[in-house]
Each structure stands twice: as C-alpha cells, then as structure tokens.
Amino acid sequence: MGKGSSMEREIAVKLSLWYSENTSEDLFWRSQASGGRATVRQKKGKANPDQFGDIVAVDKRGASLMKKWSIEVKTGYSSKNKDKKITNWCVLDAIDSRQKQSVLEKFWEQCERDAELSDREPVLIFRRPMMAPCICITRFYYGILSAFFGNCPPNTIELHTNDNNLIIMKLDNFFEWIPNIKAAL
C-alpha cells in the first residue's frame, strides 16, 4: 500500500481517539477506494453520500461526525524542478508559484467537490513530507467553531484564494482547541 493509504489509516486512528475522548481507536477508517466507489456510483446516478472522502465511520458512534464532515487526506506530493532536485510543496505556493493552481488549492478543490456532492463540510487533512499533519477548513466553518469553542490557538494561517477563504492549522492544535466536537454538531 502507498503512503496515502498509510496516512489515511493514521488519521483515522487519530480522529477516532479524538472523537471518542481516547476511549476507542476504531470509530473511523479509510473509505472504499479512498472515496472512489462513491464517485463511480454517483456518475451512474446511484447515491452513496457516506462514502465520499477518504475517511468514513465504521462504528455508529462516529456517524454524527461523518454526517457533517467530508474528509480528504493528502500526503507527500514532492516535485522536481528543472535541476531535478526534489522540492516539497508549501502553503506559500498559493502566492508565489508559477503553476496556475498550487498543490494545496488542487487538494482543496477535490475536498470541496466531494463535500458538495455529499452535502457535508469540506475538511482537508494533509501532511507535507517530514512535517506534522495539518487541517484546513473554510473561514465560514472556522467562525462557527469559534462561536462554540472560542478563538483557536495561535499559529494558524488564513489563506484567501480566488474562490476560497481557508484556515489552516496543525491537526494537534485543532484537537486541543476543540476537545469535544460533538457539542457543535
């Protein structure tokens, strides 16, 4: 299995422990074909909204989160420049990249598309090579969470793109900020 599958399993366990307040590590798991089954079925006119995204509830105790969130998990995605050196992508690519669309924006676009098809909130969890996992949510949803849990910890990034206003922070900081998301669902 590839590094994406490994990251999806890692995030599923982290989400399970967070959501269950450290009582269960198996509320969530990778969706079938990383959401691919839902995409194929949707193209055939067959609804399968619970299978969009990379993470699904495999225990009924996690169902309420998955009814609200469509989670896309991404990792890696190094690239080679003209000198054939590996360059890790960066959030700042949205500002100064020569590409029409940065890696993060491409990730977000997929996350948002799946969330719209399943009528859920887009949540992107990503990790650059050798770095800590981060979470990305809309500025609007951040506002809803802030109303429940107060202002989030420092070290967040607000990114305004042509189509989106996004908030990015370390996943562990998000978990500390929101010890019990069930109150806001």
Angle in degrees, 0-180, between the axes of helices 36-43 and 103-118, rounded to the nearest 10: 60
- The reported pLDDT for the residue numbered 144 is 94
Q: Is the pLDDT of residue 89 over 50?
A: yes
Q: What does the pLDDT average to over 75-99?
A: 72
- Cα–Cα distance for residue pair 102/88, rounded to 1 Å: 12
Write the pLDDT tens digit of every residue in 2-60: 455 899 999 999 999 999 999 999 999 998 654 444 444 444 454 555 557 999 999 99
pTM of this structure:
0.85
What is the per-residue pLDDT across 101-160, written as a single tens digit (0 to 9) for each? Answer: 888 998 999 999 999 999 999 999 999 888 899 999 999 999 999 999 998 878 999 999
30: which residues sit within 8 A by CB, 6+ positions away? 5, 8, 9, 12, 54, 55, 56
Q: Which residue has the higher pLDDT, 72 or 79?
A: 72
Beta-bridge mates of residue 71: 123
Kindly compute the dihedral angle of the four CA atoms of residues 44, 45, 50, 52, in this order, to the nearest 10 degrees. 50
> Which residues contact residue 29 at a Cβ distance below 8 angstroms, ignoring those fewer than 6 apart?
9, 12, 55, 56, 58
pLDDT the model gives residue 87: 60
Q: Residue 163's pLDDT is what?
A: 83
